[in-house]
Structure 1
C-alpha cells in the first residue's frame, strides 16, 4: 500500500481539526445528555465510515475491507474500555459536567500512545516476522482469560497506580471545577480530577496492549492501523455518555469480545498456513459482536438506565462557591516587591 506523505498530513490535520471542533463545542463544562451524546456518536461513526469509503476508492476493496475490519475490532474493544471509565468515574464521584474534560484529554493521550505502539509494532513485524506468532498466542490467551474473568469487576480503589499517585502526589479530595491542580496553603496539590485522568490514561494503555495486536491480525499497513484506531477512539467520549448508564444490559458483551480476540489470534497464527480472506474476517467479527449485543439486549429487555455502582475510592466533594472564590482571589494576588532598606 503506497501512502503518500500528503495523505498522512491530511489525516493528522483532519484529526486535529475534529478535536478542536469538539473542544470548542464543549468549552464550558456541562452535563452531556443522551440526545447530545447520540448526535455526536452519529457524527463520529459517519466520519469513520466516510474515511473507510475514501480508502476503498483510493486504494481498492481489499484495503477498504481491512480498514473496516480494523475499525470494527477497535470500536468493539473500546466498548469495554468505556465501561471501565464509568466505574472509575463512579468510584471518584466525578460530577457529570466535568467528565468530558477528562475524557477529551484521555483520548488525546490515547492517540499519542497508540501512535507510538503502532510504530513500534510495525517495526517489530518488519524486522522480526516471527513476532506475529507471539501476538497470536497473546491474543488467544487474552481472549480465554477474558472469558474466564467476564463476571469479575474492576476496583479502582485498589489500583496500584492510585496508591502510587497518592503516595507521591499531594492530593485534595475536593473538586475545584475543571482544575487539575490548585494551590493550597502555598503548596501545589492535585485535585481528584488529575488522579482520574491518570487512571483513564493507564487504562487505555492497558487496553492498547490487546487492541493493537488484534488489528495487526487483519492488516499490516501502519496507515490503516493508525486511522482505524484514531477514528474509533475519537468517538469514545460520545459513546461513553451514550452507554455509561447501560452497562448492566451488556451482559454477554465480554463473551463476544473474548471470541473476537481468540478469532483474530487464530487468524494471525494461521497466516503462513491458511489465508483467511479479509471479507470473512470482517463478517465473523461483525457476527460475533452483533450476536453478543443482540442477545444481551434481549435478555435484559425492560431494564432502563441506571447509574453505575462502584466502591468509593475516597470521600470526594465539590468545592463550594465560597471556596472557589477564595481560591481565585488568592491566585489574583501579586506578591509584594521587597523595598529593601529605606534610604536616609
Structure 2
C-alpha cells in the first residue's frame, strides 16, 4: 500500500523527537558515557526496532515487517563496520571524550537528512526506470568482491583522503574548549575543530550510504521501510560507537561476512531485474518469468545466519589466538601513527593526547 503523507509527517516528527531527546538527556551535559549507559541505550533502540517490526506486522502485513527487519539488520551490520572510520576521525581530530557524543549525534543527524534525499531520489528512479536494478546489482556484486578481497589484506583502515581537505574549506582553530562550537582566539571568535569533525562524520556516513542504500532497496522497494531501517540503524549508532569501540578488533570475520551479504543481495537484485526485465537486448525486452524471486524468509535466514557465523567464528578464532584479553572503551588498541596519516596538520605526537578517541585495531590475523 502507499504510505499516506500524514504517516510520513508523523514518523519524521517522531524521529526528530528522538534526536532532540538524545541531545537534551545525553549530549547537552558533556560527559563520556559508561559501558553500562551505552549498553542499555543500545538495547533500547534495538528493542524499539523490534517493536516497530511487530507493529508493522499487525497494521500492514508480516511480509513488509520481514522486509523491514531484514533491511534494519543489514544497515546495522554495515554501520558496525563503518565505526572503524569514525574512530579514526575522532582520533585524528583529537576530539575530547566529553565532546564526542555531540559530534556523533549531529553528524549522524546530518547523514540521516542526506540519506532521506537519497532514498526519495532512488525510489523515484526505480519507479521510472526498473532497469536501474541491473546497475544496483552490478554495484553490490562489485562491492562484495572488493570487500572480500580487502578482508584478507593485513592493513589498518585509512582515513578517507578527502577528510584532510575539510580543514582548507572550513577554517578553524587547532584548540577545543569542551564541546563548544566557538572560542575566542587572538581577539576573534573562531570555530573549534568540532565543526570539522561533524562535517567529516556526516559526509563519511553519506559515502557509506552508496553501499547500504542499494543493498536495502534489494530487500524492499518500499521507500518508507527503507527510511525507517536507516533511521533506526542510525539512531542507535552513537551508543554503539561507545559500546563496541573496544571490541571491534575481535570481529575479524565481520568484513568477510558483510561481503557475503552484499553478494547475496546483489544476486537477489539481479534475479529481480531479470524477472522485471525491460531491456530489449535481453529476451527481446520481455521479463524472464522463470527466474525465481528470492523470498524474504530466505533473505532473513541468510543475513542472520552469516552474521551469527561471522561472530562465532571471530570469537573462536581470537580465543584460539590468545587475544581474548579484556578490552574497554578508552584504550587504544591500534597505533596512533596509522590513525593520523592523511589528516593535514596532525602529527603522531598530537594523537597521544589523552583526551583523544581510541582507535580500535583492525588487524584481521586470519588474512
TM-score range, shorter chain: 0.7 to 0.9
Higher CA-based Rg: 1
How big is each residue's C-alpha offset from its partner over 1:155-208, in whole Å with a ceiling of 9 and x where there is no partner? 33x72232x222233332211111233342244433222222122112101100
2:162 matched residue in structure 1: 160
1:3 matched residue in structure 2: 3
Question: For residues 167 and 5 of structure 1, what CA distance do their matches in structure 2 show?
Answer: 41
Higher mean displacement: 292-301 or 50-59: 292-301
Q: Does 1:275 align with 2:286?
A: no
Question: For residues 167 and 187 of structure 2, what CA distance do their matches in structure 1 show?
Answer: 19
Q: CA deviation at 1:4?
A: 2.2
Contact 2:84 2:157 in 1 (8 A): no
Question: For residues 156 and 196 of structure 2, what CA distance do their matches in structure 1 show?
Answer: 20
Question: For residues 207 and 127 of structure 2, what CA distance do their matches in structure 1 show?
Answer: 24
Matches within 5 A, 1:1-344: 1-26=1-26, 27-150=28-151, 151=153, 152-156=155-159, 159-162=161-164, 164-271=165-272, 272=275, 273-301=291-319, 302-305=324-327, 306-309=331-334, 310-311=336-337, 312=340, 313=343, 314=346, 315=350
Question: For residues 176 and 318 of structure 1, what CA distance do their matches in structure 2 show?
Answer: 15
Contact 1:86 1:308 in 2 (8 A): no
Alignment root-mean-square deviation, CA:
1.8
2:282 matched residue in structure 1: none
Structure 1: tracts of 5 or more residues without a match: 320-344
Question: For residues 218 and 2 of structure 1, what CA distance do their matches in structure 2 show?
Answer: 17
Structure 2: tracts of 5 or more residues without a match: 276-290, 356-367
- Secondary structure of the 1:275 match is coil
Higher mean displacement: 277-286 or 291-300: 291-300
Question: For residues 265 and 303 of structure 2, what CA distance do their matches in structure 1 show?
Answer: 9
Give me the TM-score of the superposition, normalised by structure 1.
0.87
Q: CA deviation at 1:19?
A: 1.3
Q: CA deviation at 1:23?
A: 1.0
Q: CA deviation at 1:300?
A: 1.7
How big is each residue's C-alpha offset from its partner over 1:72-126, in whole Å with a ceiling of 9 and x where there is no partner? 1111111011222112212223222111000110111111011000001001101
2:285 matched residue in structure 1: none
How big is each residue's C-alpha offset from its partner over 1:303-333, in whole Å with a ceiling of 9 and x where there is no partner? 32142433334237699xxxxxxxxxxxxxx
Question: For residues 91 and 165 of structure 1, what CA distance do their matches in structure 2 show?
Answer: 13
Question: For residues 195 and 9 of structure 1, what CA distance do their matches in structure 2 show?
Answer: 31
- Secondary structure of the 1:160 match is helix
Contact 1:247 1:308 in 2 (8 A): no
Give me the TM-score of the superposition, normalised by structure 2.
0.82
Higher mean displacement: 11-20 or 221-230: 11-20
Contact 2:108 2:234 in 1 (8 A): yes
Contact 1:87 1:308 in 2 (8 A): no
Contact 1:260 1:288 in 2 (8 A): yes
Contact 1:180 1:190 in 2 (8 A): yes
